[in-house]
Structure 1
């Protein structure tokens, strides 16, 4: 299997695949716009380039290396860019902590700010008492379960990297190994953001939250390190956009064009279509960058998109994977109902019909609602439709192994440091430790 849509086609039917492929393609273009806009913000704040110029220049650079190098270039660039990002953000975090008097000084300044004590212990405060005005149900179920699990299991960038691995064991290790740096990333993102909050004023009024990191970089970093930090941020957003465009290209070519519009054509035809899709995706991303520009905090926008597209897909994916009784049309109607529920929840919040407190909290509740509606509709449709025989579900449902899968183990896979179970347990333990520190 090459993608999540292909899994949905084989597990359910072509209609489910097409629905997911279309919504996924839209999501990738919208998220590509977020990365382009973030790129433009850095250039505007530190280099003085106008927003439209920054967006177009960034798009051309990403288009060049995706078109010339394909998926391999995107993956290798992401690995290299990760280390460049750390080379810029680690000094920024250290210098920021020195400016505010270390961790104790930062904690004291947060208590004296508009956040108060809740800014240090969001988990331990009820809705209305913490800065997000978020209830623990929204945080634990909507964010901690639906959005987080959905990201790691259905996000195309993660799945695509696993599918490009050299064998099955390497594919299993891909998200696990990636989890280790992801767990530590808040140390160089959340901490600088909090430092910016207490050093600068006017957030949400004269200043956008999107400007926090660029302002810190401008004021704290010496010229040499500033160059590395700017390069790191630009590399980060370019890597994100490259992943989005690569995902859009793959899904449009394989799961929409080849599967439903122009089947049974030669490889050369689909290669041309993929190249055209790449150019079109970048051009559309330029347009959606200006949608992202309408948000003072792009994290709110990004989480809203995840609640629309990732949350309902996660419900369909996890049910289809573990519940062999689930029928083909249950996958389609459950996915559609969950997506509509997420959109309806967000629109109701924006229209003032429901009060979730903050836009970010609205996305957490919307994700939870999308998951719950999807599950209910899927169960209801399953009860009145006919399931597929087990012979068609082998290799697609937990407990029904594909008997024709060849053992592709390589020398060294049996060593302890390549064990998915051991490394997975280590990641869980590290995450629990970090959460304990936060509490």
Structure 2
């Protein structure tokens, strides 16, 4: 496609919107003062900020282009991928999240060393790095496709331009900038996507929404009306393949070892907030996102079947269908705004991955191996430059993804190839205390080798293929093959080897020791499970204290059901900031005036608290 004609108003709005988003993110980058801020935003955000920011990070990445293409080609069954994340959620909510949070682990490779040994950490580091950089490449490729459709730019040139802009943004910002930008993007994307759906009904109905809904359904080909794809055909899109590649391997990858998503949840103020964020995402936001990202493809299929696509856009390439349908339905100006939101959201997803890659390099290569013992300021400077390098490496993968027939197929192939050994190792590692370091290492190495071998000899996947045709080399079913082979290796090697670490050494790192993990997170004082209320207090700034603790009046502590020694959360009195100005602290004394909390000046300064605004205080543990 040679590019869609944009009006001057469209161009102005696209430029203005992208500049505004950059400015919005960089404004919040002022809060980045350390590597903890750069990677984890100080672990202080409320659930609703993370839930909405997840939309831009997960839904807003390649989804509009990818799922519109799948919806145009296969119909409503394209929604399967967004509605199958719940399989492992109980295990994630009540197992993996509290382990990572309470153990104060900053990366998945670090978990592998603490749970197993250093060589397993290095092996996990290889897989995580390939996963993150591969995802960065997928996102740049998607952006290139979008700009190729919009402006007629060469796909790789367009991806290169975007990579430069994204690298500059992440260099300057960090996790706080990413989260706050993605919060805005999540709201905008849902609104834009759902607006397109409504406009589509209006278009199909000639101004009547009810008639449009009826015409939409009648216009969908019969094969497009099913929510589930055929069991094992066609080879490019089928139920069993999407289940194993996306619902199982893909979901484990996203929630259990995608460093970007992990960092997002570790930026929350507590484990409980993380559970609320994921429930809100799965129950409310992701179903809305299914409608937002897939409807252009469904509308396009109905419009094409009814002969309602203008001749200028007749027979669109599935990769272009989102942009084409939006252009048909949306007026000039508003079209530019929708496209700007799409491009900026794609960049939001990519900056999450780039920031995560930087975190892995700093925390898993520089600090423990290559450059230990340096100051936090030095690591922060390096983290910014590593972000630039990560963007460049991701860009180098774009030509590889361009060789695939669709974005969906490119993504599916990538997930099915990279994730199975890590998925098995992560789940078995924290669920099965008996799993040994040798088993973890050989699961990764042997599983990775087996998956790589299947690329050159795809016939080995045939016994696992559920009757799927070998056309295209089993790009989906490789996930099941990899999961089974890796699982067998993990079980067999565990049974024939002995653990290197004692139960005491892995305390808090497995499901069986979660209570101990929570206690270790708090410290010597027993965990306080009593339910209390949030109190709003005035602030009295006091000089730095030896114990760096806070002092509250006994009556205020009673309302919170808190005691001296408990861990509390202190946030700006304005709830809508969602933790942007907040801190964790410990109650070290109960004196002073009722309605007033004494906070050391260093805590006020380090966490950007504004004493004149008051604070909201709640007990955590």
Q: TM-score range by the shorter chain?
A: 0.7 to 0.9
Query: Which of 355, 363, 370 is the matching residue for 1:246?
Result: 355
CA RMSD of aligned residues (A): 3.1
Distance 1:5 1:11 in 2: 10
Query: Which of 288, 292, 309 is the matching residue for 1:184?
Result: 288
State the partner residue of 1:8.
Answer: 112
Residue correspondence of structure 1 range 354-433 to structure 2 within 5 A: 356-357=468-469, 362-387=474-499, 388-400=501-513, 401-402=516-517, 403-406=519-522, 407=527
1:29 aligns with 2:145: no
Distance 2:332 2:143 in 1: 19
Residue correspondence of structure 1 range 165-314 to structure 2 within 5 A: 165-179=268-282, 180-200=284-304, 208-314=317-423
State the partner residue of 2:577.
Answer: none
The worse-fitting range, judged by mean Cα deviation, of 324-333 and 160-169 is 160-169
Query: Which of 206, 226, 231 is the matching residue for 1:121?
Result: 226
CA-to-partner distance for each residue in 1:275-302, whole Å, 9 max, x for gaps? 2211111122222223222223111111
Query: Mind listing any 5+ residue stretches in structure 2 that lack a counterpart?
Result: 1-104, 206-211, 306-314, 535-559, 561-621
| Aligned-partner SS, 1:326 | coil
Distance 2:476 2:320 in 1: 24
Query: Which of 47, 51, 55 is the matching residue for 2:151?
Result: 47
| Aligned-partner SS, 1:218 | helix
TM-score (norm 2): 0.60
Closer/same/farther in 2, CA of residues 393 and 189 from structure 1, 3 Å limit = same
CA-to-partner distance for each residue in 1:11-53, whole Å, 9 max, x for gaps? 1111222112122222222221221222222223223444344
| Aligned-partner SS, 1:222 | coil
Query: Mind listing any 5+ residue stretches in structure 1 that lack a counterpart?
Result: 112-116, 415-439
8 Å CA contact 2:138, 2:411 repeated in 1: yes
8 Å CA contact 1:304, 1:360 repeated in 2: no
Distance 2:435 2:366 in 1: 27
Task: Specify the structure having the higher radius of gyration (Cα).
Answer: 2
Distance 1:384 1:330 in 2: 9
| Aligned-partner SS, 1:173 | helix
Report the alpha carbon displacement of residue 2 of structure 1 after superposing the two structures with TM: 0.6
| Greater helix fraction, Structure 1 or Structure 2 | 1
Query: Which of 414, 426, 440 is the matching residue for 1:317?
Result: 426
The worse-fitting range, judged by mean Cα deviation, of 161-170 and 148-157 is 148-157
CA-to-partner distance for each residue in 1:294-323, whole Å, 9 max, x for gaps? 223111111222222333222111111111
Report the alpha carbon displacement of residue 262 of structure 1 after superposing the two structures with TM: 2.9
Number of equivalences: 405
8 Å CA contact 1:312, 1:367 repeated in 2: no
Distance 1:156 1:255 in 2: 12
1:108 aligns with 2:211: no
